[in-house]
């Protein structure tokens, strides 16, 4: 069975496999003990295909994971979205989730801003404000700047690498892959004021498939 793997994963998989092979040569029980970790490494970088729903007003999840409680929060100031609080949907990805990130809407990248920061546990609210992050401002197709939304890739307690493949001005389709975070992290989505949330806290969502909200 072929397992789709994100391009970031092959180097790590090769390292884990080499270590595993060396442990088998040293002492077979060590190799067997390490084998689940090697399998986990392969699973971490899996990149399965997803069936993205159609509909011009849909906002789908950009990440796999658990949806944290919906909050009202001011979006990152570097994106120029103003000081008014917005509905913030946060998805916490543990080390067993798929970590490939996907676009929540079809549209254009208006702004990209990277900021250094700390590495609090990504399930804590303070991670949104203080952790290392890549902030992305998107404008859905056929809409004005009042419908812009923000997607924030946030490093977590053990995450030390955010990859974002986007460029300012780039167009992308809903469900399109745009990056990955290693290992265990969080994504925040700041919605326009008129949007309607379609999911409840605690639900497990899937990148590119689960509808989070509808734009009005």
d(CA 204, CA 216): 24
Which tokens sit at 135? 């902030």
Q: What is the CA radius of gyration of the chain?
A: 18
Rounded CA-CA distance 199/32 in Å is 42
Cβ density class 152-175: b for 16+ within 10 Å, e for less = bbbbbbebeebbbebeeeeebebb
Report the distance separating Cα 70 and Cα 82, nearest Å.
Answer: 19
User: Would you name the residues annotated as active-site residues?
Assistant: 185
| Residue 138 near residue 103 (C-beta atoms within 8 A) | yes
Each as own residue / partner, the long-range contacts of residues 114-120 (CB below 8 Å, 24 or more positions apart, any chain) are: 114/162, 114/164, 115/76, 115/78, 117/155, 119/155, 119/156, 119/157, 119/158, 119/159, 119/160, 120/156, 120/157
Let me know if 3 is exposed, middle or buried by CB neighbors in 10 A (0-12, 13-18, 19+): exposed
């Amino acid at each position: 069975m072929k397992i789709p793997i994100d391009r970031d994963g092959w180097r790590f998989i090769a390292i884990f496999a080499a270590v595993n092979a060396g442990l088998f040569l040293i002492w077979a029980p060590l190799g067997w003990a390490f084998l689940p970790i090697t399998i986990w490494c392969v699973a971490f970088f899996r990149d399965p295909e997803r069936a993205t729903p159609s509909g011009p007003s849909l906002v789908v999840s950009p990440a796999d994971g658990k949806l944290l409680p919906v909050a009202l929060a001011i979006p990152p100031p570097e994106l120029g979205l103003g000081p008014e609080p917005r509905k913030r949907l946060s998805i916490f990805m543990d080390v067993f989730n798929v970590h490939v990130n996907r676009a929540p809407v079809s549209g254009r990248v208006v702004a990209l801003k990277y900021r250094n920061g700390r590495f609090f546990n990504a399930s804590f609210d303070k991670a949104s404000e203080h952790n290392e992050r890549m902030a992305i401002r998107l404008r859905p197709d056929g809409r004005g700047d009042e419908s812009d939304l923000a997607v924030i890739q946030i490093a977590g307690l053990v995450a030390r690498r955010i990859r974002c493949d986007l460029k300012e001005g780039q167009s992308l389709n809903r469900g399109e892959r745009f990056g990955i975070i290693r290992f265990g992290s969080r994504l925040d989505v700041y919605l326009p004021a008129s949007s309607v949330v379609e999911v409840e806290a605690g639900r497990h969502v899937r990148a590119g498939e689960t509808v989070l909200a509808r734009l009005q």
